[in-house]
Structure 1
Amino acid sequence: MKLQKFEFEGKRGRYDCLTSDVVYDSSYDAHSMDLYDFCCESLKDLRLARIETWPERYSSDVNYCETRTSFTDNSLYALALNCRMLQMIDLSFIGCDADWPSEIGFTQEGFLVLIQSCPIRVLMLNNANFFDDEGMKALSSSPHLEALELILCHAVTDAGMRFIAHTPCLSNLTLRMCHNVTDVGVAEQEHAHKLESLVIESCGKVSLQAAQCVAKSVQYSSKCSNALMKKIGLGGY
């Protein structure tokens, strides 16, 4: 197969659960072993957007929620093994709680296996509550990573920003609603002298003054735009 780009995007909004026409992950089957089993050596661009997560079962005694999507670590391992030319990954989730355990069906460990197995140039993570500073540390050794966009990644802090400053080829960084990143973390990028562009949007602990010193091109907004609201599943449907 010569497929180079695969894109899946849910079309319904977060609050469709208020109706009787709820759309779950259409391929979800807890007993299936081969869902999302990719095998495409030419695949370069993978986009999975607006993946709705809904509770399958709760256990109140241990504060645990079972996996809600069928895209698991095994799916990531299949990608890592069979799609070695993958260069762009865009993962976007809707309705995920910021706290661990995650409703997302895979772990950071599985995700990093994929990142370390492929020549990823562009990585976009939206509401990825499995991703934290240890993930940023792993990304810092990615030899091909040029652009990183993080949206609502609450587990990423200034420590993670310190790691990412050492990424060899990173030149474009975008942070949207990453509320645990501060001026201190942004200043780490200035010390590296690598960034061509920096985008900061609605990151409450990052000031314009700190952002202005970091890259040749800087876009800064303290407010949440309509486009960002749409990205996080709160508008624009």
Structure 2
Amino acid sequence: MNLEDLRLARLITEPEGPEIGLRFLLRKCKALERLCLEYVNDVIDKDMIVLSQSCKNLKSISLWMIPGLYHEPDGIVFRTGLTDVELAFTGVDHWEPPEIGFTQEGLVKLMHYCPIRTLTLNGALFFNDKGMKGLSSAPFLEILSLVDCNEITDYGMCFLVQYPCLTDLKLQHCPGLTDVGIDELVHAQKL
């Protein structure tokens, strides 16, 4: 399939089911450059693996998700030209991991194996200070936007100074951050 731009909205996938639907479609879209999945239920790390293995031209992905109830094991390897990732989670106030299918560990591995330059996390309650530490060695990350990320605290801010290529930072409504965390950035003199 020569499809370069794909936008799917309000679909339900079967994460533990047969290789049909979303995973099957992604395997066929070899030329895909931009993918937007809006409220596609039950997207899991396994879907991201298929995406990274099949869509070598992928440059941008936007996932707007509602948490599911699935978890994938460790040992995930991603390889793709993906450069922009936007993850938005809506309809939840708080949950305990691993109630979503796309995990913090999966995201960190994706960031390390792909040349992702832009990451936007919106309402990603699964992302916390441990994730901030994991991203601190992401080799390509230049732009980081954290919106409604309630689990990030002042402690997580100390890892921002270690991000090797970070040039653009957006922090919006992250209630765990205070002046103490911002002070970490100021004293690091990496602004």
Of 108, 123, 126, which aligns to 1:152?
123
1:4 is aligned with what amino acid? E
Alignment of 1:162 with 2:139, yes or no, is: no
CA RMSD in angstroms, aligned pairs only = 3.2
SS across alignment from 1:2 = coil
**What's the CA shift string for 1:102-138, capped at 9, x where partnerless?**
336xx4559x54xx12122111112293344433542
- What is the aligned length? 174
- Unaligned stretches of 5+ in structure 1? 11-24, 54-68, 97-101, 217-237
Using structure 1 for the length normalisation, give the TM-score.
0.60
Pick which of 82-91 and 137-146 moved more.
137-146
| Distance (whole Å) between structure 2 residues aligned to residue 33 and residue 134 of structure 1 | 23
Percent of residue pairs identical: 21
Displacement of 1:2 in angstroms is 2.4
Q: Which structure has the larger Rg?
A: 1
Contact residue 198 and residue 211 of structure 1 kept, 8 A: no
Is the aligned partner of 1:103 residue 2:69?
A: yes
TM-score, length-scaled by structure 2: 0.73
Which sections of structure 2, spanning at least 5 residues, go unmatched?
Answer: 91-99
Alignment partner of 1:34 out of 3, 10, 20: 20
Note closer, same or farther for the CA distance 1:103–1:197 as it changes in structure 2 (3 Å cut): same
Alignment-mate amino acid for residue 127 of structure 1: F
CA distance in 2, matches of 1:72, 1:194: 28
Q: Retained in 2: the 8 A contact 1:47–1:89?
A: yes
1:130-181 CA-partner distances (Å, limit 9, x unpaired): 3444335424523511011112222222121012011111010011111111
* SS of residue in 2 equivalent to 1:6: strand
Q: SS of 2:38's equivalent?
A: strand
Partner of 2:96: none
2:32–2:55 contact (8 Å) kept in structure 1: yes
